[in-house]
Every structure is written in C-alpha cells, then in structure tokens.
Amino acid sequence: MSGPHASKLRRQIAWEAARLLYQHEADEYYPAKMKAARHVCRGWVKPWDLPSNSEIREQLASLSRSLTADKPQDQLLSMRLAGLQMMRRLDTFRPRLVGSVLTGHTRPGSDIDLHLFTNSLDAVLAILDEEMLRYDVQHKTIHKEGEARHYVHIHLDDQFRFEMTVYPQNRAHVVGRCSISGGPMARASIAELEKLLAKEYPQLDIDDQLADIQATPDRFGVYLSLLLPLEDVKQKKVHHPEGDALYHSLQVFQLTYEQLPYDEELLTAALLHDVGKAIEPQDHVAAGLEALEGFISERTEWLIEHHMDAHRIAEGTIGSRHRRRLADNESYEELLLLAECDRRGRQPGMVVPVIEEAIDLLIELDAG
C-alpha cells in the first residue's frame, strides 16, 4: 500500500498505539504497535504500514497534552504558533501568513489566514487528508473592475479555524493590496514569521512550543478513527439485515436526529454506541467506552453504557430493581429512545448521511 491511504493508516495505528500506552493497556512500543495494528486493520498488516516508535511517541505526547493541558496561553501567540505549524506542514506551497494573526489585531472568532501557491489543489488536499483534518473547499467568483476573479478557499477546523486561499504558483511573488489601507498587504513566510516570533517573544523556544501544541486527534477526530473500522464489521443478517456496523450506526444516528436534532450528547451516543464492535465484539460496550474515555461527556457515556439494558427493558427481561435505578436517571427517556432507534436502524437501503456529515453536525451543535 502506498500514497495518502497508507499515510492515514500509519497515523491511525500510531494514534491507537499511543492510546494503549497512555491507558496502560501496553507497556512497550512494539506490543502496543502490533495490538493497534490488529485493531485498526482487523487482520494482518504489511510491515511498511506500521508507524515508527517516533510517530507513536509524537501521538502519545499529543494525547497526553490534550487530556492534561491546564495552562492557558496568550491567544495571539497560540494562533501564531498554530499558523506556523500549519505553514510547516504545507511548506511545499510557499505559504504566507496574512491578516489579523500576523498584524496582531485578532478578535474572538478570528481565523488564521494563509495564502498558498500551487497549480494543484488536489496536492494540498492530499496532505490535509493524510493529516486527517476536517475541511471544506469553497470556489468563489468576484466581479471587480469589469473582470471576473476566481478564488479557491479552504476552510479548516483544527486547534483554530483556518481560511487558506489557493493562488496559482506564478502569483507567489505578487504582493496584493490591503483592502483597508490600500497599501501593500502585510504577509510573512515561514522564516519571516519565525523571526517575528523571536523578536516579540525573545524567551520563546519555538520548537518546544510547537511540540506542546502539536495537532492532536480532537474528540471528533477520535470519533472518526473509531467509526471507520466499523465498515469492515459484518453482522449476522438475521439480526442486522442492513449490513455492516457503520451503516447501522449511521442509521441509528439519523433516526435519533429525526426525533431530537438538538441533543448533541444523545446524538453522539447514537453514532458511537457500537464502536466497540471493531475492538472486542464479545463485550463491545465496555471496549467502546474504554476507547472513548476522556472524549465523551458523562451523559453520553451513561447512554452508551446502558443501551443494551434498554433493549432488555423492551424485552421484559431486566430485573425490576435494575430498571428502577435506570428510571431514576434524568436521561431515562432518551435512553429508551436510543434503544428504539437502535432496533429500527436495521433497514436495508435506508438513506443515511456519510460519516463526515454526521460528525460535522455534531461539530455544529458543539459550536452552539
């Protein structure tokens, strides 16, 4: 295997190995790597698809920081460092930082604005795909001074929001005009941004700081990495005539959304309730909750933990004491709804959102 998919696979295995080490399910890199490969690939993996110890170490440091970070940084500095990090990722395309993050005039909700120069949009998107980053591409035409100007924008959500404008390669040396002052637009290359940071933050160790904010699998990235293997989990047709576990999960999500479209925690539970089937089918609930630890709310955890109990309530096979304990929870009605959608989400041919659309919906709800 080669190309973007191989790189994505290595990243998935590296992250899973890091999770195993972080949660002390493995004590050494090699056992963690092999266990992670079996989980992600559901079978034999080619040696060149295995990540190096260094790649796992990077993911382990990122995961540790994402779960323990408690020291707020200066927002402008954080955005400049995030911009530098992205520019280094995309250095092939001669990136330039522009806008408020460069000038220092950021406001709440400001984007990090980058200009990229290439004749191949696909080459940029391939790198973003390898990094498992979420983005949208927007093509815009503006009519100005009697001519049509075409622009390509990439809107990306990482630690901060980015807007990256892609220009033809031969425009790299063309300095645009500032729409406010009318003068030359301020912009900075990687080297110029590093010089600015050294000047304004003389005590700053750039490489150490970038290591501290190394892009981590945010919770939505974790959801994606745990959901993808479900496509290869085939279920018994007598119980699941619809097909694989991912298709089933998306059906449950869609049916739940039709009932309570604004309940993010319930929708998260609906989407993720079966992720453990790709890890340990014999106890998929416990396996799924272990993998999701630290990435879901207590309420979502409770809904996933007890969704099989809710099936037993419907079947009349649960003890009365256990049922009363569940009924005392304020989310009991939502639990019953989740189980109902779980039973209904077994329809061959049902129209469902693609996995990225489902996650994007959760992101929108999270953003308020």
Cα distances from 26 to residues 10, 20, 30, 36, 266, in angstroms, run 18, 6, 9, 10, 32
What is the residue extent of each domain of the chain?
A: 4-68, 75-212, 219-367
Yes or no: domain 219-367 corresponds to CATH 1.10.3210.10: yes
Query: 211 pLDDT exceeds 80?
Result: no
Instruction: Give me the chain's average pLDDT, please.
Output: 84
Q: Average pLDDT in the 209-221 region?
A: 67
* DSSP 8-state assignment for residue 111: P
Please, which pLDDT band fits residue 240 given cuts at 50, 70 and 90?
Answer: confident
The fold adopted by the segment(s) 75-212 is: Beta Polymerase; domain 2 (3.30.460)
The answer to whether the pTM exceeds 0.75 is no
Report the length, in residues, of the chain: 368
Share of the chain above pLDDT 70, in %: 87
Q: State mean pLDDT over 311-340.
A: 94
pLDDT tens for each residue of 148-171: 778 899 998 777 889 999 999 888
Residue 102's region, left for phi above 0, alpha for psi from -120 to 50, else beta, is: alpha
pLDDT at 68: 45
Does residue 16 carry a pLDDT above 80?
A: yes
Structural tokens at position 109: 């909700």
In one letter, which amino acid is 117? F
User: Is the confidence at residue 73, as pLDDT, over 60?
Assistant: no
pLDDT of residue 40: 79
Q: Is the pLDDT of residue 3 over 50?
A: no
Residue spans of beta strands (DSSP E) within the chain: 96-98, 112-117, 134-144, 147-157, 161-167, 187-188
Measured from the Cβ of residue 283, the count of other Cβ atoms closer than 10 Å reads 12
Q: 302, 285 in Cβ contact below 8 A?
A: no
Determine the distance from the C-alpha atom of residue 296 to the mean position of all C-alpha atoms in its chain, rounded to a whole number: 13
- Tell me what pLDDT residue 65 has: 55
